A and B are shown apart, each in its own frame.
Chain A
Amino acid sequence: MANPKPEELARIEYNPPKTGWMDTPTVFKPGIFPYGCKPKSLETVSFPNPRSWSVKDEDWKLPENWQEIFIEGLRERVNKYRSFRLFLDICVRCGACADKCHFYIGGGDPKNMPVLRAELLRSVYRKYCTTSGKIMGKIAGARELTIDVLKEIWYYAYQCTECRRCSLFCPYGIDTAEITILARELLNLLGLNIDWIAGPVANCWLTGNHLGLQPHTIIDSFDMFINDLETATGIRVSPTFNRKGAEILLVVPSGDLFADPGTYTTMGELLLFHELGLDYTWSTFASEGGDFGFFTSNEMAKRLHNKIYEEAKRLKVKWIMGGECGHMWRVWHQYHNTWFGPVDFLEEPVSPITGTKFENTKSNKTVHICEFTADLIKHGKLNLDPSRNDNLIVTYHDSCNTSRGMGFFEEPRYIINSVCKNFYEMPPNTIREQTFCCGSGSGLNASENMENRLRGGLPRANAVKHVKEKYGVNMLACICAIDRAALVTAVDYWVPGVGVTGVHELVANALVMKGEKKRTKDLRGEPLPGMEGE
């Protein structure tokens, strides 16, 4: 299906329909929703109700007592998560969150206003979990859980990328992302996952990574990287896999092993660690930093990430380093310690190169690669020639997870500013804590919902367009594998002519290595500035 032209897509109607939202039936539009999950994916992880079904069908083939399952699940969860219950109870519908969601901004569907997205489930909560809702019904904002209501909840739960931008602006911090997370968990009780999430989850369960890369395929990819790097630098790197006794276990998102431009990020990491002589290992088992289980249920998320600690223990490493990935940061930083702690079989992380103690992770022992590299640069441990990136005019996209998800802004900027000379920020209301999602996070980067992804990507791409027109920006740097996959598409559509790169690709281009040949090409095989003739 061809996508509409950007001009058409950008004609957005923000005025809500005349009928109230409870009385306006939800129409499933092609291009907006992703496909339903396949039975095999659910069977692999023993999830309920595996069957073939299609979102477009009238009959979703739910279990007989689906209502009961959903409502029981809801009751259970409002008593397990204070946040959930509180968020369902105290929203005053002030509307501050309404125009903060990229899907609403880019699409205008009123049920994509975070407050209404939450209200879809909140109305059901009122009906079955509060006295006033039970007695007064609709006038108290309560409604019955009919099949249409269930479908509506589904439709909008898979139009939220769990980016938390709404939560930032809410006077009580109501986090619609968390409501979506739990709504999806409830939908999964009925076997209502989407293919693009359930498939990677099943892959990850079996092979350790979302893409289903088996050990020998991973090695194949690396062989390719090694050859390409040798061509570019004259240096042959020799990474190790599943090696016992290494000091550090490195885990990156598997997307970076598989597709451009993520692969260049991996190649950058290979060069950097080679140059440092770092005692680290990759693992084909713990071969996925990201966690699509997190887009399924809390339990599934935990089930998938156990491998990282199991592997760290088996290989007897001292600590763990994580690559450039957004939701990976969220899961590692926010959940790992609670799920798997105390992690006392590892040591408090210390950089073997600079001696810096990573104090902020002394309990969980996981370091983000940007923290590691920023510290290297600060201590002058890298010989950098930023002019090698002179052909790039760079801006930086904060991914939702590393910014609002209890993260950082400065480390990646410090790195970028050290490795390239032309760096320009996008407008203040679109970066740092106010950053916009790429539009495809939380497992929504399928192709059948492309129109929605492009709509959701509009606010980000539009800010890129601004700096492209103003400063000639031609490269969008990010530290997230989903960004590297999704922003390419969104940017191509809205602002053709801007590339997407990981930060460590930029580092590797600027890195002057011991014994390197005269560098004429960057990691992509394109000529370095001033080397166009060679």
Chain B
Amino acid sequence: MGLLFSFFTVIALIVIVFIGVNGANLHYLFGVLIPYATFLAFIIGIVYKVVQWGRIPVPFRIPTTAGQEESFPWVKQNKIDNPSTSLGVIIRMAFEVLLFRSLFRNTKAELREGPKLSYGSTKWLWLGGLAFHWTFLIILIRHFRLFLEPVPVPIKILESLDGFFQVGAPVLYLTDLIFLGAVTFLFLRRVIIPQMRYISLAADYFPLFLIFAIGFTGVLMRYFLKTDVVGIKQMTLGLITFKPVFPEGIGIIFYIHLFLVSALFVYFPMSKLMHMAGVFLSPTRNLANNNRAAMHVNPWNYPVKVHTYEEYEDDFREKMKSVGIPVEKE
């Protein structure tokens, strides 16, 4: 149900633009108002969510560790997986965010006759995830050529690296291929692996369809429908300088692409996609293990009712005395 719902939601989004732009001529709405509004919602939404998380206390310092803790000088500490300093934490976090280190550990449990359990290493999710996110990032950075004039040198370098293989005209970007491949892979594993299908919600299919559709319309525009790039750049530059213009000859495909991105903007802050910000705030990863060496303060720590020694001795005084245990009150 979640799958179909998500699929048709994305189709519906496309139909809306089609009707809105081609049918009702709402260029200003779809080309200016909606992108502005959704981008604003995106920024406000993310800030809101991060501030909301940030204001909630971290009462205890309980990271999940994956190595030997700091101990005697003769015991080798795993300074990254069980960090006791901020530097260790920063390195651990960098590995997590840039390389998905925890996912790299992934194993697959298998039960054979015997019974015999084994846990082989499996890197597919890690690889697919990494390919998806990194190409997403590179594509995003490449898009800055549309918003900056002159195009900065680093972006030009990135583009030429990306188009290294010089296939066809316009140049085929490797990242485009990998990106669509990776999204497809992430989708397929969700529907093919029974456990994955079982845990998947609409909220898992929808972003995949949406992102795929964004990528796909982008590719269509660039390689197949050959939209007027100069015109698009005029328009995007117009948007970013708050002087919107509508050059002739910009196809509906661009409006679809833009509208889907707008949809992603709105959807992002209220969805699981917020893992982008959440990963940095995760208390099981971003804290050091120095609990016995330095006190961690819980802002809402409060006194609790306890059973005191006095009460204990009152309960057991005779029994204690009978076996020679010293007591406070004879």
Contacts and interface: CB of A to CB of B under 8 A. Distances in A.
Interface of A: 6, 10, 12, 14-16, 20-21, 46, 78-83, 85-86, 89-96, 98-100, 105, 110, 113, 115-116, 119, 130-132, 139-141, 164, 167-175, 178, 205-208, 214-216, 219-220, 241-244, 284-285, 298-299, 302-303, 306-307, 310-311, 314, 333-335, 337-339, 341-342, 356, 359-366, 371, 374-375, 378, 403-411, 414, 427, 429-430, 432-434, 458-459, 462-463, 466
Consensus secondary structure, chain A interface: helix
Chain A to chain B: the 10 pairs with minimum beta-carbon distance, closest first: A173-B284, A10-B115, A361-B292, A90-B278, A429-B119, A433-B66, A364-B292, A16-B198, A341-B295, A82-B56
Contact of B285 (A6, A16, A172, A205): A172
Interface string B185-204: 00000000111111111111
Most chain A CB inside 10 Å of its own CB: which residue of B5, B63, B117, B326? B117
Contacts of B298: 338-339
Interface string B102-125: 110111110100111111000001
Given A175-B64, A244-B326, A371-B72, 13 more contacts: A83-B282, A85-B56, A91-B275, A105-B109, A115-B199, A169-B107, A173-B285, A219-B323, A242-B325, A371-B71, A408-B75, A409-B67, A410-B71
Interface in B258-298: 270-272, 274-275, 278-279, 281-285, 289-298
Contacts of A302: 304
A171 B101 CA distance: 7
B165 interface: no
B195 A95 contact: yes
Given A95-B196, A242-B326, A429-B107, A410 B301 contact: no
Contacts of B204: 92-93
Interface in B108-155: 108-109, 111, 114-119, 125, 129
A81 B60 CA distance: 9
Given A303-B305, A378-B74, A410-B71, A169 B105 contact: yes
B148 to A, nearest CB: 32
A285 B108 contact: no
B160 interface: no
B56 A375 contact: no
B235 to A, nearest CB: 32
Interface residues of B, number: 101
A90 B279 contact: yes
B287 to A, nearest CB: 9
Contacts of A307: 306-307, 309, 312
B102 A98 contact: no
Nearest to A334: B62
Interface of B: 1-2, 5, 49, 52-54, 56-72, 74-76, 81-82, 84, 96, 100, 102-103, 105-109, 111, 114-119, 125, 129, 193-204, 270-272, 274-275, 278-279, 281-285, 289-298, 300-301, 304-309, 312-313, 315-316, 319-320, 322-326
A116 B279 CA distance: 20
Nearest to B279: A172
16 contacts: A79-B56, A83-B282, A86-B53, A90-B274, A93-B201, A93-B272, A99-B108, A205-B307, A207-B312, A215-B316, A216-B323, A219-B323, A303-B305, A314-B309, A364-B293, A371-B72
B301 A171 contact: no
B91 to A, nearest CB: 15
B195 A410 contact: no
B292 A337 contact: yes
Given A83-B284, A334-B62, A411-B71, A171 B96 contact: yes
B72 A164 contact: no
B203 A141 contact: yes
A141 B65 contact: no
